[in-house]
Structure formats: structure tokens, C-alpha cells
Amino acid sequence: MKSRNTLNATDRLIKKIFSILFRLLLTLLSIFIIQSQDNSFPYWIYYLVIIIYLAIFFYFFLKDSWFQSLCRLVNDYALITFVLYQKDLFLIPNYVLVVLPVVNAPNHSGRKSSLLYPILIVVIGFLSGWEINWDLIIPIMILGLINVFRHYRSQVLDAKNDLVNLIEQFFTSEYEFRKFHNVYDLILDHIKSIKYMKNMFSIDVLVCFLVKNNRLLLLNSSKFIRYFEIDKEQELIEELEARGTCDDFSIKLMENSFHDNLFVMSKDEEMTLVFSIILHDDSTSPIGRSLLRYFFKPISHHLFKIIKHHTKIRSSLAKQQSRIRKQQQYVLKSMNAMHYVRNKLTPIKTYLNLDEIEKAVIETNDEIIKSTFYNKKENALKQSKNQLDNIVQRADFILEKSDNPFIIQNTSQHKINTLFSLIRFNWMSFFDDQNFKMDFQETFPDVHVYYNAEVIEIVLADVMSNMNKYGTEPELTILELDTDITFFFKNRISTNKVKDITYFKRIAKSYNSDESWEINKRTTHGLTLIKSYLNQMSIHSEIVLENSYFIFKMRFAKHFHV
Amino acid sequence: MTKRIAIFENEFDLLKDAFDLANLVYFSNQLEFSIFETSQDFGDIQNVKNFDKVLIDIDLSAKSDKDGYSIMRDINQVDNHPELVILTGHSNIEKKLNELGLRIPAILKKPLNVSEIVHFLR
């Protein structure tokens, strides 16, 4: 609503400026006529009238009501009538003065357009002595017709702009992409509210198709459609590729066939969409079709941009979900592996129990039992060795790199500014202030750092989430040196009975110690993954405690482009 | 007197030594084990009355029509059925049994130990 009001205000301002310019022109032309032709009254009367005219104009200038704009129009013609009284209307400057308000009609800021022509006819009638002179009237009629066309054109433009604004408002307010089809209802309702459009065509359904592998796939529509059929689908796509729009293909939506349709294609290198406007009956006139085409081409382009943007978001979400699924599968495999291990441990446990059982065997004093027992003992040893091998093999399988989602497959180069923008973007999700201290060298514009974009976001989110949970006064310092750039994530530690300063010192010591990292990583409270990721990307990291501040450092090596 | 024990377990090879030692040393080979790798190997569930105890592994062979829970449910329908013992590596089996609305029987947790087997078979 705000942008619509802004546009209307801008439009009003422009019209006001044109209004002043028009009156200035009117005044200058009047002065020219007065000075260059014979007059019925003394000069001073004409100039007095001009002053009165301007005074009246400025009095009504800032007001926008119908009555006030009518007063401005009557004021204009009062001046024109007075200046041209008893003058030859066929002189060019005089004729121009008479029709000037007609030429200016598109800039009318009020509803006075409908009264312009009656007033003009009265003025011409009066100035020409009430004689009908077609040489005067016909050009004015033509000008009037031109204004009518211009008026309708601007109405269509306004309707289109209004609709674009409505669509933008729809997508900037809170909505779910699954309810995207509601925007079509918005479009249809808006079109129905425009009288002249309603009379020219009636839209039944709006459908959006995605073109994939030279086939049309239904994406969404204003009405639910279970299935559809288009005769000569390939020809339709080819025609749309060539011309952008076409309207002589039939479409069947479920049981109903529609012959009166307009198809509009919107595309770029990555995506092609076809919007189908299905009309209610077969009686849309050629003018109606042209209007529809003119109206819908920019609308479909607008919708295309929005759909493409959302497709990218969904694709990014899908990648994240895929990563989560891999991790879930890995956890499941690990759980299954533990279950497997449990099953395989029985022979080992049996072997370990044999001493105890042997005591019971000896007490029986039964030779058969004894000899059977010692055979079983040998077999138990063999079994336990076999199962131990099986368990180790399964552990290897779980830790195998290619299957482990916590192993980073690749890194890529990025500009330092890209990294900084990413950090700043993530920072805004956690903190209200951007307390950044920066020491950048600007002399190396082609400097890059290496990281995996997806993983670095996980690391940043983790680090900032911990900062938010365990501290206050968050601060980011960036220091760029000749060979590297370091980011210091700093905040004041919030201590309590459970997590006192000793706790954080222990965390820092565990994290920083590479020599005992393999031991400490069992108890590092989620930092395990962060350190593992950063190490894999060759990003040095460290935790520093300074007074009561907790500082997480990440150092990226700089790479220069030659 | 011979006791007949039905064991639903598809990896009995891993448990055989433990059961045999228990039988040999503590039951004087008086126990007769019948092993069923799948639910369908058992046949008519009413035949469960021919056994003195039934041991059921929850995760049976992939070829089995029913898992351990379903076999338990079937056996519980039989009047005067013998005592049930679950064999399992799941740590939270009691919670799962509650969720399924099954009465919680004796539970033998894997990896098995000869003395535990002796305790549950006595």
C-alpha cells in the first residue's frame, strides 16, 4: 500500500508541475496575441485580466476536488474567451490558444475532462458568433478522439501498474509458497474490477506451466487441475519460442475443453514458463485479445521473476535437506552398526566366561562333560576371534571417508568481500548491533580465500549461536595482513554456577590442544565438528580467553590472482 | 526330565556355544533346543504349547514373515502358552513393548552371558 501511495503522490506532483507549465504557456501565448494583433480593449485591461486569471489559478491550484478543478478549467477558458474576443479564430496563434486546453487534457488532475468539450463548444460558438464552422470543429473533434485513445491507454497502463503493485504487495507480505496460486485470484479479481476490461474479455482460469525437456509441466493455477491435455503441445512450444505469445491452441482441463486461450511465454537462460490465460467463451474480439496480450506480457514477466526466485530458494532448501538426510542416514548406519556389534559380542563374552564355567565343570567330576567342555572352549576361542574381525571391519566401514557426511569433499575460492558479506548476513540473524572493527587492506582487489560455502555457513551459524547463548556484547574484529586475514568473534562471557570461568578455560584448552585433540574431542561440547570442518578447509582456528572475553579466531590464508 | 526350548533366532551360530555350555554344565544336557530362523518355520502357533520356554529374538531374518513382536502377539493369544523370554540388543526394549501394548516378559540382553542364560532357563 505504501508504494502505491508513493506512486500516486509522485504522479500528482508531476501533474501539478505540468499544470503550472501549461498555464505559463497559455499566459505567454495570450500576451503574444495581445501584442501582435488588434485588440478590442486597452492593453492594461488585458494585463489586469491576466493577473486576475493567475491569481484565481493559484488560489485553486493546490486543491484537487472536482469543483476546484472545474474552476481552473473555466478560469482558463474565461481568459481565452477574453483574449480572443472579436479576433479571427483562423489565425494560427488564436486557434492554438483555443485548442490548448484540449491538447493539455491528458494532464488533467481532476475529473473535469468530461466538461472540457461542452465548455469548448460554448466558447467557440460565442467567439464565432454562434455560426457552425466545420473548419474549426473537425480538428477539435479529432484532437478529442486522440485524447480519448490516450485516456484509455493510460487507464490500461494504470491498471497494469496497479496490478504489478498488488502482486508485489502479495509477495512482500507474509505468505507461503505453497499458496502461490492465491496470486492468480488477486489478478482475476483486479481485472474484474476494471469495467472496460470486464466488458472485453472474461478469464476463466490462469495456469502456469514449466517447460522442461520440451514438455509442459503444470506448476500452479488459479483453480485446482488434476490433469490437462494440449493438442499439438510441441507446436505450441515452438510457436511460443518464435513469437512469445499465441492464441490458437486448444487446451483440455480435466473434462472441459477450451478453445479461446492466450499463451504467453516468459524465459531466460535457466528457466522457461508458459502462462495460459483461459477465456470463458469463444467470443473475445481481436481488440480484446490485443488488450489481453498487452496487459499480460509484463504481468507474466513479473510472475516469472518471482517464481524463479522461489525455485532457487527451494533448490537451496533441497540441498540442505539432502545434507541433513545424508547425516541422518549416517547416524542410522552408526546405530545399526552398534546393534550389529552387540550381536557379535556374545562369542567374545562366552570366551571370557570360560574360566568361571571351567570351575563348574571340574566340580561335576564327569569326564564326558569335561572333554566336551574343552572342545567347546577351542571353538569359543575361534568364534570370538572371527567376531572381533567382523566388528573391526564394520567400524572401518562406518568411518570410511566417502560415506561420511562430515568429510568435506571440496573447497572453492571466494573473494574476501564475499566472505565478509556472508559473515555480516549471518550476524544479523543473531545480533541486533553490528559492532565491527575492521582493518582491511584495499590494495589487493583480486585476493581470494578458500572454503566450502555450505560448510562455512554451518560453522558461522554454530559459532554465533554459541556466542549468543553463552555471552553478551558481541563484537567482530577483522584484521587483514599480507598473507592472511583473521576474524575475531568476541563476546563477554556470561558465567553462572554451572558454567564458571574454569569451564570456559577448559573448553579453550581442549579446543586449542592439537596434541590431545583426538582424546578431547569426545568432550568438546559441539566444537568438535567446527574444528574438524575448519581443519579440513585449512583454516586455522583458536579460542582465546582475555579478561572476561571469549574470542574465537578464524584465520584464512590469502591467495592472489595473477 | 528333558525340557524343550523353542528359540526364534536367525543368528543362533553366534549363541550356540553359550547355550551348549549352559546345557552341558548346568542342565546335564537335559535341554532340547529347537531353532527357528523365521516365523513361518514354526508352523502352527498352537504348537507352542509343546515347549517349556520360548526365546524370541526381535530382529529375525529378512525372510521372516513376522518379526519378534508379532510372534509374541500371536503366542499371547494361545491359552496356557509357555513362558516367553526376549533376546535383544535393543537398549530401550521396554519402551517399545509399552508402545505396542505388549506385556513385558523376561528380557535377555545381548551380548549374552552363560550365567544369564542359565538363570532364564531354570
Q: What angle do CA A152, A222, A203 make, to 5 degrees?
A: 35
CB contact under 8 Å between B24 and A369, yes or no, is yes
A499-534 pLDDT, tens per residue? 678 888 888 888 887 665 555 555 555 687 888 889
Q: How many domains does chain B have?
A: 1
Q: Among A134, A154, A219, which residue's Cα sits nearest to residue A183?
A: A219
Contact A343 B26 (CB under 8 A): no
Chain A interface, Cβ < 8 Å to B: 339, 342-350, 353, 356-357, 360-361, 364, 369, 372-373, 376, 379-380, 383, 387
Chain B residue with minimal CA distance to A387? B14
The pLDDT score that the predictor gives to residue A243 is 92
Task: Tell whether B119 is within 8 A of chain A (Cβ).
Answer: no
ipTM: 0.86
Contact between chains at B111 and A361 (C-beta distance less than 8 A): no
Instruction: Name the residue ranges covered by the structural domains of chain A.
Output: 2-158, 178-316, 345-403, 412-560
- Please give, rounded to a whole number of angstroms, the shortest distance from the CA of A379 to a CA of chain B: 8
DSSP state of A483: S
Determine the average pLDDT of the residues in A452-464: 89
Q: How far is CA A205 from CA A281, A331, A497, in A?
A: 12, 48, 65
The reported pLDDT for the residue numbered A540 is 94
Nearest CB to A376: which of B21, B28, B90?
B21
Residue with cell 486557434: A95
CATH class of A178-316: alpha beta
Q: Which amino acid is at A314?
A: R
Q: Kindly list the residues from chain A whose CB atom is less than 8 angstroms away from the CB atom of residue B111.
A: 342-346, 348-349
Domain interval for residue B66: 3-121
Grid coordinates representing B50 are: 509343546
Return the top range by mean pLDDT from A2-11, A443-452, B106-115: B106-115
- Which parts of A155-250 are beta strand (E)? 203-212, 215-221, 228-230, 245-246
What amino acid occupies position A226? R
Q: CA neighbours within 13 Å on the CB side: how many for A281?
A: 6
Quick one: CA dihedral A37, A40, A41, A45, positive or negative?
negative
Whether the upstream peptide bond of residue B105 has omega within 30° of 0, thus cis, is: no
Bridge-based pairing state of the strands A484-493 and A549-557:
antiparallel
pTM across the whole model: 0.57
**What homologous superfamily is domain A412-560 in, according to CATH?**
Histidine kinase-like ATPase, C-terminal domain (3.30.565.10)
A346 vs B26, B28, B112: nearest CB:
B112
Q: Does B110 touch chain A (CB under 8 A)?
A: yes
Distance in angstroms (rounded) separating the CA atoms of residues A119 and A122: 5
CATH code assigned at B26:
3.40.50.2300
Task: Give yes or no for a contact between A228 and A208, defined as CB atoms under 8 angstroms apart.
Answer: no
Which of B26, B89, B114 minimises the CB distance to A350?
A: B114
For residue A16, CA distances in Å to A71, A77, A240, A498, B91 come to 15, 19, 43, 70, 81
What pLDDT, on the 0 to 100 scale, is given for residue A76? 93
Higher per-residue pLDDT: A288 or A554: A554
**Facing residue for A346 by CB, picked from B25, B26, B111:** B111
CB A545 within 8 Å of CB A556:
no
Residue A392 C-alpha, separation from nearest chain B C-alpha, in angstroms: 16
- What CA–CA distances, in Å, run from A403 to A309, A324, A334, B54? 32, 14, 11, 40
Top mean pLDDT of A96-100, A107-111, A273-277, A345-349 is at A273-277
**What is the least distance, in Å, from the CA of B107 to any CA of chain A?**
15
- Under the phi-then-psi rule, with left for phi > 0, alpha for psi from -120 to 50, and beta for the rest, what region is A552? beta
Q: Is A369 close to B25, i.e. CB distance below 8 A?
A: yes
- CA B116 and chain centroid, separation: 13
Q: What is the DSSP string of B16-82?
A: HHHHHHHHHHHSTT-EEEEEESSHHHH--GGGGGG-SEEEEESS--TT-SS-HHHHHHHHHTSTTPP
Cβ neighbors of A116 (< 8 A, separation 6 or more) are A73, A101, A102, A105, A108
CA distance A63 to A75: 14
Q: List, for residues A8-23, the tens digit of each pLDDT value.
A: 677 778 888 888 999 9
Taking the CA of residue B42 and the nearest CA in chain A, the distance in Å comes to: 23
Chain B residues with beta carbon closer than 8 angstroms to that of A391:
none
Q: What are the tens digits of pLDDT across the range B64-97? A: 888 888 899 999 999 999 999 999 887 788 888 8
Query: How many of the other CB atoms lie within 10 Å of CB of A403?
Result: 13
